[in-house]
Amino acid sequence: MNKQLPIYIAVGGGIGSSLRFAVSTILPTTYGLPIGTLTVNMIGCFLLSFLSSVFPKHRKVDPLFQKALTTGVIGSFTTFSAFSTESLKLLEDRISLGFMYIIMTAVFGLLMSWMGVKAGRKYT
C-alpha cells in the first residue's frame, strides 16, 4: 500500500463530509423526510457507479486520486448511518413515512447507480 494513501483519503473525507453538511443544511427535513440525507445518498450512488465504470478504462488517472475521490470524498459524502438513524426515528413517529423513506432510498439508490453505470459506459 502506498504510504500517502491514508492522507489522500483523509483529505477526500474532509471534503466529502463538508459537502454533506452543506447539502444537509441547504436541504432540511421537509414534510418529515430528511431530504438532505436522501439527496447526498442519491448523488453518491450515481457518482460512485459512474466513476467505477470510468476509472478502469482510464489508466492515466492516478490511483491515489481515484481512492481519494471514491473512498474519501464519496464515502464520507454519503451516509448509511444517518439514513439508518433517520429511518428508525421515522418508523417510530410515522411508520408509513418511515417505510416510504426506506423504499424510496433503496429504489432510487439502485436507479441512480444504474444510471451512473450507464453514463460511465457511454463516457468511456
Instruction: Report whether 8 contacts 1 (CB < 8 A).
Output: no
* Residue 123 neighbours by CB distance under 10 Å: 11
pLDDT in tens for each of the 124 residues of the chain? 789 999 999 999 999 999 999 999 999 899 999 999 999 999 999 999 999 999 988 878 899 999 999 999 999 999 999 999 999 999 999 999 999 999 999 999 999 999 999 999 998 7
pLDDT confidence of residue 100: 97
Domain containing 39 equals: 5-123
Q: What is the pTM of this model?
A: 0.93
The predicted pLDDT at position 121 comes to 94
Q: How many residues does the chain have?
A: 124
Q: What is the pLDDT of residue 47?
A: 98
Number of domains observed in the structure of the chain? 1
